[in-house]
Amino acid sequence: MDVTDGVASQDVNWMSAVGGTPLRHWVSLNGTLLPAEEARVSVFDSGFMQGIGLFETMRAYQGRVFRLVPHLERLIRSARDLGWTVVPTDDELAANVRQALAPLAGADARVRLTVTTGSLHADAADTPKLTIVATAAPGEKYPDECYTRGVTAVVSDCRQSRSDPTAGHKTTSYFARLASLRVAHQQSAFEALWLTPEGHVAEGAISNVFAVRDECLMTPPTDTPVLPGITRAAVIELAVEQDIPVREHVLTLDDLLASEEVFLTNSMMELVPVVRIGRTAIGNEKPGEVTRKLAIAYGELIDRELDNE
């Protein structure tokens, strides 16, 4: 059975029960909260016509997004780096996110924020207006067995190139990622690992990659290029706090296969241990101690930061 398909898919079942009451799906669209069936984006929108857009997938705990500001800053930085004429502000992005979360009454949720450069229609305003959409779905957790037993990853045939101007940015031109993930799922794997044309490890289709060898935590540097993950950054902070040596270091596939531990990170999965790459066991084919230690610390970090809001 494909244990990840329902989580990784962009199609989400938005009806859930909190306290026995079904929740209607609501969308925040440019600052207006609408039932999903009433939310409309122009067919001339740049995201639809040209795939020009950025997005963030975030995890809310009891109605509060963990590290919301870094998520928003990453999106804004990408808009600037990619040369958008109009760059969104953190205030307007945060307002849409909070508006989408409000109907969930403090539930844990998967939050998706999507921003495009707006309408391409000839009648559009002279000053471009962004399209900002935020949605929130209750729950959406990965199965417990992913954490207790670990998962399998496979190496994708896709390659991540420095010459791709979207590399290192979370753009809505996401088909290649999802296609490689689908191939991995067809092989009963959880994630697809992307390499560079030179054979260096970059990242997963939807995750950052970490390895543990000789009690040192290693991960590819962001100029590999890889997405500067929010969870990736938090894990590095936690490793430093716990006196675990950290190296942002070029890694080969052989480096991963020779590691004692490998794990994946993103905001929804948090830390997921990889116990096999293809048919090769990683370490003793069980979740490792460093992974376990950092996963516990990550949970404590969430509690600590959200309690201080």
- pLDDT less than 70: residues of the chain: 1-24, 122-126
pLDDT computed for residue 7 by the predictor: 39
Look up the CATH number of the domain holding residue 169.
Answer: 3.20.10.10
What is d(CA 61, CA 269) in angstroms, rounded to the nearest whole number? 13
Q: Using an 8 Å Cβ cutoff, are 33 and 99 in contact?
A: yes
- Residue 175, Ramachandran bin (φ over 0: left; ψ between -120 and 50: alpha; else beta): alpha
Reduced to 3 states (helix: H, G, I; strand: E, B; else coil), residue 263 is strand
First to last CA, the chain: 40
Closest-CA residue to 155 (of 113, 100, 112, 200): 200
Is 6 in a helix, a strand, or coil?
helix
Do 133 and 236 share a domain, yes or no? no
State the Cα–Cα distance between residues 24 and 21, nearest whole angstrom. Answer: 10
| Domain residue limits at 12 | 5-138
- Assess whether 181 and 271 both reside in one domain: yes
Question: How far apart, in whole angstroms, are the C-alpha atoms of residue 130 and residue 85?
Answer: 10
Q: Please tell me whether residues 129 and 208 are part of one structural domain.
A: no
CA distance 164 to 14: 34
Please report the pLDDT score of residue 37 as a whole number.
92
Give the Cα separation of 209 and 250 in Å (integer).
12
**CA dist list (Å): 30 to 133, 137, 168, 177:** 6, 18, 26, 27
**pLDDT of amino acid 17:** 34
Q: State pLDDT tens for residues 213-245.
A: 999 999 999 999 999 999 999 999 999 999 999
pLDDT score for 85: 94
Domain final residue pick, 120, 138, 156: 138
116/165 same-domain check: no
Check residue 32 and report its DSSP letter. Answer: E
Question: Rounded distance, CA 62 to CA 65, Å?
Answer: 8
Together in a domain, 273 and 150: yes
DSSP 3-state assignment of 77?
helix
List phi, psi (to 5°) of 281: -75, 145
End-of-domain residue from the set 104, 138, 172:
138
Kindly list the distances between the CA atom of residue 27 and the CA atoms of 65, 134, 175, in Å, as whole numbers in the listed order. 16, 6, 23
Q: How far apart are CA 113 and CA 130, in angstroms?
A: 13
Structure tokens at 109: 């949720």
> Domain boundary at 107, 138, 169, which?
138
Number of domains, the chain: 2
